[in-house]
Structure 1
């Protein structure tokens, strides 16, 4: 009878996989021995594997180029990175190696842009697409960026007041976009997105505010839905409505030449993950081509703003199981040496699933468990796993510590968790490593941030003043 953990995984999933393998009963991730990493740097431990960022960017660029060539599509493709997914410098530096563009969300984003421009990482040829609801400092910073000579800064108009506010900040020529207020999925609590301008009002807004405005050219129509890019009736219906707006707008606006389809590519959240990226891209290109051909208008350049897809699969975390609490006849709680609330906030806030696997003991028998964090909050647990009906891990042995890893955690977790700030129940933020490869392909490791110290938290709280 096969009762070892490795047997469970091999019988349940197609395993090993591209990034995961087993050597000497220990988990290997992107050819990195994670137990060696944990032994050297301790746990809890977070890390970012930079080569995965470039890998995903170039995969997407290749898929789009293949479809453009296949359909003889006359427009160009521009890959943009959605900075709110992770603002860290090492992430932006890696992403910008790949001839991409960026999308911003707030005033401080523009300060990051200016820093990267000074270092030559962002050039005047880089599109800076400014999304979000804009007021005061954000408007001023966009104006300053345009006044500095960055002609490819494109503020996306989110509401009727933003255009005159932008014009007050600069006398330079403005290239702008308009965001469509898409209709939300039927199960949403509200009908229309709070972001953007309604489908029916966009052409009239253009004719009223932009068509005869010598300072402003409309370059881009922006389309995004919260559910992301999925092969379902809702997504294709919303895309077709967006294309109808583009066609109607293009007929009266000769400067419109770009369609931004936003972000929303999913990332791997299970060993059973199955998503055909190439098919989805090919069908999007096909639908745009057909709609524009039937309407006899030029096809647009296509922009995307991939955030999680860019950086999500580069991140991971390792925890040690400190103790097992048997609360009743059926429930065994494996307690990690950190907190899910502070280190993986999406796991409890929106029930997001990550790939979770043991780092060691793959040849041991397994048991069904629950995973608990160190805080005294009842929500500090993880119970959303790929096995659906429960979490299975190698059996707990006090004298032989079990280590577990959570993978593809690189998007949003640090910013939502308040990296470097106060943590729930004052559980410190883990040590964070940056992993890279040198020119010979050898692994390099840099400590980005040590584990938080008590003095740091006490200082924030005012006790060290």
Structure 2
């Protein structure tokens, strides 16, 4: 009778998978023995597997290279890292090993860019695409970057006032982009994105404020879809609308030569995840080329801004099941040694799913459970099917500790949760380790931050002024 946890996973999904394998009774992630990490560092534990960042960057570069060769697309591709997904230095250091570019969202991003330049991680050939709503400090920082000679800084105009604000502070000529305010999917509570300039207003805006402006050179049209790059009628329809704007603008603006197809690729959130990246890229490149050929204009250079795709699949979290509570005839709660609200806020805020599996005891029988965090908040729980179904794990046994892992958690969690700050019910932030490999593939780990202590929390609260 197939009642082991291994049988459940093997019958439900294709397993093992590229990054997930089994060593006897224990789960491995990219051939990393996760139970050894638990034994060495304890739980709760967050980790970042740095090589996966470079792996994903180079996969995307390869897919675009193949698509451009296949479609005889005569322009260049530029991979930008979208900093808002994770601003940590260890992320940037790994990402910028791969000759990529950077997309910023706010004023302090520019300070990070300047630090990266000081350290030689990026240089004057690196494009800095400045997105987001821009006011005083952000405008000042962008102007400082351009005035100091970084000519490949491209502020993307989000509203009609920004161009004037930039011109007041920037000396000499500079490049800009314009962001399209895309129409949202019908499921949204609003029809049009709050960011960017409406489709019908872009060409008139160019004629009024840019066409005769000797200080400004329009180089880029920015197209962003909030739901990401997906094979849906909605996405293809919005892309074609964007291309109509690009073509109309290109016919009046010869300096326009780049299209930024913002909006990210999805990442694996389940062992059943399927997505044909190469097909999507082939089709995007093909549609752009067809639109340009029909209009008899040159194809644009293509920029992408991948944040979650760059860093998401590098991150993970491991917890111990401390206790099981039988609350009624049907519901068993496995209580973890941390909080979902604290460490995986996306699971609580937007019901986001992550890959979740047992780390050990794969040869034990399984049971249906609910996963609860340690806080006193009723929303501090995780459900694999976004509040519809429970999860299945090896049966709780207080004599045999059970550890569970959440994977592909590398984007947004620290910034949403507030790294180093106060957390709900003062649940401490867990220890965070970095995992890397040397040139011979040998694994190396180091502690990035220790688990938050009571002293750390009291200091933030003002009880300890030292």
**TM-score, structure 2 normalization:** 0.99
The alpha-carbon deviation at position 386 of structure 1 amounts to 9.3
Aligned partners of 1:238 and 1:145: how far apart in 2? 33
Task: Summarize deviations over 1:399-424 as a string: whole Å, max 9, x none.
Answer: 11000000000000000000100011
Deviation, 1:24, is 1.6
Counterpart for residue 394 of structure 1: 394
Q: Which residue number corresponds to residue 228 of structure 2?
A: 228
Residue in 1 that maps onto 2:301:
301
Q: Spell out, residue by residue over 1:232-282, the C-alpha distance to the aligned partner (whole angstroms, 9 max, x if none).
A: 100000000000000000000000000000032000000000000000000
What is aligned with 1:199? 199
Aligned to 1:405: 405
Asked if the contact 2:352/2:386 (under 8 Å) is kept, the reply is: no
Q: Separation in 2 of the partners of 1:296 and 1:463?
A: 68
Within the alignment, does 1:78 sit opposite 2:68 as a pair? Answer: no
Which residue of structure 2 lines up, in the alignment, with residue 130 of structure 1?
130
Task: Show the 5 A alignment for 1:25-424.
Answer: 25-385=25-385, 389-424=389-424
- 1:171 Cα deviation (Å)? 1.3
Contact 1:82 1:305 in 2 (8 A): yes
Which deviations, in whole Å up to 9, do the C-alpha atoms of 1:351-386 show, x marking residues without a partner? Answer: 000000000000000000000000000000001249
Which runs of structure 1 show a deviation greater than 3 angstroms over 4 or more consecutive aligned residues?
385-389
* Structure 1 residues 390-442: Cα deviation after superposition (integer angstroms, max 9, x where no partner): 20000000011000000000000000000100011000000000100011100
Q: List runs of 5+ in structure 1 lacking aligned partners.
A: none
How far apart in 2 are the matches of 1:196 and 1:388?
36
| CA distance in structure 1 between the partners assigned to 2:352 and 2:386 by the alignment | 11
1:462 corresponding residue in structure 2: 462
Q: Helix, strand or coil for the counterpart of 1:261? A: strand
Partner of 2:264, secondary structure, is coil
Mapped partners of 2:44, 2:170: distance in 1: 49
Whole-angstrom CA distance in 2 between matches of 1:411 and 1:355: 14
Q: Is the 8 A contact 1:127 1:152 kept in 2?
A: yes
Q: CA deviation at 1:99?
A: 0.5
What SS is found at the alignment partner of 1:145?
Answer: helix
Distance change (3 Å), C-alpha of 1:288 and 1:2: same
Bigger Cα displacement from structure 2, 175-184 vs 165-174: 165-174
- CA displacement at 1:388 relative to structure 2: 6.7
Hey, what's the Cα distance between the residues in 2 that align with 1:57 and 1:272?
23
State the SS of the aligned residue for 1:223: strand
Please state how far the C-alpha of 1:193 moved relative to its aligned partner. 0.3
Structure 2: distance between partners of 1:102 and 1:385: 34
Deviation at 1:187, TM superposition (A): 1.1
Taking a change above 3 Å as real, the CA distance of residues 240 and 159 of structure 1, as seen in their structure-2 partners, is same
CA contact (8 A) 1:375 1:427 kept: yes
Alignment check: 8 A CA contact 2:339 2:373 kept = yes
Q: Distance in 1 between matches of 2:93 and 2:172?
A: 29
CA distance in 1, matches of 2:228, 2:205: 27
Matched residues in 2 for 1:169 and 1:397: separation?
65
Contact 1:270 1:386 in 2 (8 A): no
Q: Is contact 1:183–1:193 with CA below 8 Å preserved after alignment?
A: yes
Tell me the C-alpha RMSD between the 2 structures.
0.9
Preserved CA contact (<8 Å) 1:271 1:386: no
Q: CA deviation at 1:284?
A: 0.1
Worse-superposed segment, 291-300 or 378-387: 378-387
Q: TM-score, normalised to structure 1's length?
A: 0.99
The answer on whether the counterparts of 1:351 and 1:384 sit within 8 Å (CA) in structure 2 is no
Unaligned runs of 5+ in 2: none
- Pairwise CA distance, 1:173: 1.4
Could you give the per-residue CA deviations for residues 182-202 of structure 1, whole angstroms, max 9, x where no partner exists?
Answer: 000011100100000000000
1:414-453 matches, cutoff 5 A: 414-453=414-453
- Report the Cα distance in structure 2 between the residues aligned to 1:175 and 1:410, rounded to whole angstroms: 33
What SS does structure 2 have at the residue aligned with 1:440? coil
